[in-house]
Chain A
Amino acid sequence: MSWTGKFLRIDLTKGTVGTEELNREWARQYLGQRGLATKYFAEEVDPKVDPLSPANKMIFTTGPLTGTAASTGGRYSVVTKGPLTGCIACSNSGGFFGNELKNAGWDMIIVEGKSPRPVYLSVENETVEIRDAAEFWGKTVWETENGLKARHQDPMLRVASIGAAGEKGALYACIVNDMHRAAGRSGVGAVMGSKNLKAIAVRGTRGVTVKDPDRFIKATIEQKKVLADNAVTGQGLPKYGTQVLMNVINEIGALPTRNFRDVQFEGAHKISAEAMHEPRVTDGKANLATNGACFGCTIACGRISRMDAGHFSIATRPQYKEPSGGVEYEAAWAVGADCGVDDLEACTFANFMCNEHGFDPISFGSTLAAAMEMYEMGVLTREHTGGIELKFGSAEALVKMAELTGKGEGFGVELGLGSRRLCAKYGHPELSMTVKSQEFPAYDPRGIQGMGLTYATSNRGACHLRSYTVASEVLGIPFKSDPLATEGKAALVKAFQDATAAFDASGICIFTTFAWSLENLAPQLDAACEGEWTPDVLLEVGERIWTLERQFNLAAGMTAADDTLPKRLLKDAAKTGPAKGLASGLDKMLPEYYQLRGWTPDGVPTADTLKRLHLA
């Protein structure tokens, strides 16, 4: 119970649809979603597989609490081998798609092979079909979602699809569901495109059963009250969203600016949460139209923005004048501060492009920032960019490049390679701000030391969502630690990584962790799922997932040498703010981290560690 106990296996090469029973022993060991799907993936796929070949698989997976009454219980993940990174990829999304899939009666969909022609997968409870998608190929995410709802004559249909970025293989293409929620990172959309799979359309009406309904409802009500009473999840996130971080991270001197050359951005306030609330000079309206919630969420951090109708990016394009998914913090930083752009409307337009065409704003913004630095150095010229001046701070360049990248046209094709490949191609690999080929998110490791270790050791390449030590180092949750210190950060990162993996395996949004710990999650899982789920069990599950991901990456060819940061962050000190004079102290944290994990000095789990975690 809480798991449906069955999943779909779709072979696109053969055009077959199969159903299988869930491996209950694996569910006990890996819980669900990120954990369980990674176990299936690691068992079935050669770690050295070419990510864009038919031999790669992708798993759309829910957690046991997905589709239940638990707050935020609407999450799903896509697990595959990432084309951007060559690592295990696990991209998590909200919206309503995950709930619909679970309510259709399926814990997961394993997609394998490659269709000879564009197709989409239609799932209506037990009726599952691979259907022709010729009319949708080349269409945007938004057109595809609306088109499928019209074709099925069902406005409640939930759709996860790719746009041109995924079809044309942009290496950070994402999968977008519900118009503006995304499995965003590591290029999972490019894998979908490589399989000629345009979309998955789901309608589910079967419901989800839990082990002890009375105890479960009582537990979920109690924990919803915890979220409501907490100042962060009950007030801050609904009102200001994640964007409230823009001014904080800038003030503490950890806002990467102009491709990490600086750590503070003079235009931060103009692209912040506070600015999104302020009436515009031009039309008197605020950028923020309202907030929004995903399925079952009682936090509602989502941003819905209405652009200035007179802004140069949309003045002649009425289709962008209606409210749509606005910038979250990571996106606003990437297309804003990292590119030196302080035009909130231009940032919002770039975000619309990411949603409409299906590509990751973090990787896009970071890649564009690297390209801007190469342009200012004279390495890139107007001949490369199609006549566009790619200068830091240019809102015009941002708007143009976002559209070209989304459509896979002009210099946008090169930007779609991602920062590492682009910088290497033009002879400046040192300008790529990446770990394992994935672009950094919005926290400078010189000003928040724990995030340096987080990035270096993340199993999917640079990522903030694998170990959000910002919570402790900056925000004081669950306790305040010094962002400039390296002492104690190895243990902090490990603790965050393991707990986060457990949350990601449950079907719950990680934003609950501003108010919840595993102590709050466990009673809900224990009431919903077969077995006994305590905080200690969940912590062990989290560590097991983390170590399994590590094992996959090592088998794929990664080594300890990949657990590092760009030279700019290790050698060039921050120029301003509290971290002035400080570089990342990764070398002081990494050996201790390996030791705490029970890994060798070369970053390989020891036999004892594997045995303890039942991985050997």
Chain B
Amino acid sequence: MAKVTLKLFALLGRHLPPGSVANATEVEIPDGSDIGALIARFALSEKDCHLVLLNGAFVPPDSRTSTRLSPGDTVSIWPPIGGG
């Protein structure tokens, strides 16, 4: 098993476990898990996972199930957002 950090922002914050701080929670995952599996575990819909970052770098939708996670990684997810 490996520990990674999952951050869910904006409207996705409601999927975090109670008591999460700074929109982040630590998650234990089986070795070799990918981002797609992490998203599925939290029952996040595909359309809500608009912006997915692995350690700050964008992961395109078609790469999520092929992107393996390593211990200490941070996955951050937002629904469609805008600002400026």
- In the complex, chain B residues 1-29 whose Cβ is within 8 Å of any chain A Cβ: 7, 9-11, 13, 22-23
A542 within 8 A of B: no
Which chain B residue has the least Cβ–Cβ distance from A247?
Answer: B9
Contact status A476-B51, CB under 8 Å: yes
- In the complex, chain A residues 249-303 whose Cβ is within 8 Å of any chain B Cβ: 251-253, 269, 273-274, 301
Q: Mark A461-505, 1 if CB is under 8 A from B, else 0.
A: 000110010110011110010110000000000000000000000
Contact status B58-A480, CB under 8 Å: yes
Q: Which residues of B contact A514 (CB under 8 A)?
A: 82
Which chain A residue has the least Cβ–Cβ distance from B79?
Answer: A231
Interface of B is mostly: loop
Question: A240 contacts which of B10, B51, B57 (Cβ < 8 Å)?
Answer: B10
Contact status B82-A475, CB under 8 Å: yes
A577 within 8 A of B: yes
**Complex Cα spacing A171 to B35, Å:** 49
**Complex Cα spacing A244 to B77, Å:** 12
A329 within 8 A of B: yes
Contact status B58-A274, CB under 8 Å: no
| A554 nearest CB across to chain B (Å) | 28
**Complex Cα spacing A246 to B83, Å:** 10
| B18 nearest CB across to chain A (Å) | 13
**Complex Cα spacing A454 to B80, Å:** 23
| A32 nearest CB across to chain B (Å) | 22
Contact status B81-A236, CB under 8 Å: yes
Q: Which residues of B contact A235 (CB under 8 A)?
A: 11, 79
A242 within 8 A of B: yes
Contact status B53-A251, CB under 8 Å: yes
**Complex Cα spacing A118 to B83, Å:** 38
Contact status A273-B56, CB under 8 Å: no
Interface of A is mostly: helix
- In the complex, chain B residues 44-76 whose Cβ is within 8 Å of any chain A Cβ: 47, 50-51, 53, 55-58, 60, 76
B30 within 8 A of A: no
**Complex Cα spacing A477 to B51, Å:** 11
| A115 nearest CB across to chain B (Å) | 36
Which chain B residue has the least Cβ–Cβ distance from A232?
Answer: B82
Q: Which residues of A contact B81 (CB under 8 A)?
A: 232, 236, 240, 244-245, 248, 475
Q: Which residues of B contact A471 (CB under 8 A)?
A: 82, 84
Q: A236-B11, A239-B10, A253-B56 are contacts. A248–B51 as well, Cβ < 8 Å? A: yes
Q: A274-B13, A480-B58 are contacts. A233–B82 as well, Cβ < 8 Å? A: yes
A578 within 8 A of B: yes
Which chain B residue has the least Cβ–Cβ distance from A269?
Answer: B22
**Complex Cα spacing A491 to B10, Å:** 31
**Complex Cα spacing A218 to B23, Å:** 42
A111 within 8 A of B: no
A353 within 8 A of B: no
A533 within 8 A of B: no
Which chain B residue has the least Cβ–Cβ distance from A580?
Answer: B56
A435 within 8 A of B: no
Q: Which residues of B contact A301 (CB under 8 A)?
A: 83
Q: A480-B58, A578-B56 are contacts. A329–B11 as well, Cβ < 8 Å? A: no
Contact status B51-A511, CB under 8 Å: no
A184 within 8 A of B: no
Q: Which residues of B contact A253 (CB under 8 A)?
A: 56
Q: Which residues of A contact B47 (CB under 8 A)?
A: 231
Contact status A269-B76, CB under 8 Å: no
Q: Which residues of A contact B10 (CB under 8 A)?
A: 236, 239-240, 244, 273-274
| A493 nearest CB across to chain B (Å) | 15
A241 within 8 A of B: yes
Q: Which residues of B contact A233 (CB under 8 A)?
A: 82
| A252 nearest CB across to chain B (Å) | 5
Contact status B83-A480, CB under 8 Å: no
Q: A274-B13, A476-B51 are contacts. A329–B83 as well, Cβ < 8 Å? A: yes
Question: A578 contacts which of B57, B80, B84 (Cβ < 8 Å)?
Answer: B57
| B19 nearest CB across to chain A (Å) | 13
Contact status A475-B11, CB under 8 Å: no
Contact status B84-A232, CB under 8 Å: no
A243 within 8 A of B: yes
Which 5 pairs, one residue from A and one from B, show the smallest C-beta to C-beta distance?
A: A242-B83, A231-B80, A514-B82, A232-B82, A245-B83
Further 16 A-B residue pairs, CB within 8 A, beyond A236-B11, A247-B7: A231-B79, A232-B82, A233-B82, A235-B79, A237-B82, A245-B81, A247-B9, A248-B9, A252-B56, A252-B58, A273-B10, A274-B9, A474-B51, A475-B51, A476-B80, A578-B57
23 contacts between A and B (CB under 8 A): A231-B47, A231-B80, A232-B81, A236-B10, A236-B79, A237-B82, A240-B10, A244-B9, A244-B82, A245-B83, A247-B23, A251-B7, A269-B22, A274-B9, A329-B83, A329-B84, A470-B84, A471-B82, A471-B84, A475-B81, A476-B80, A477-B80, A480-B58
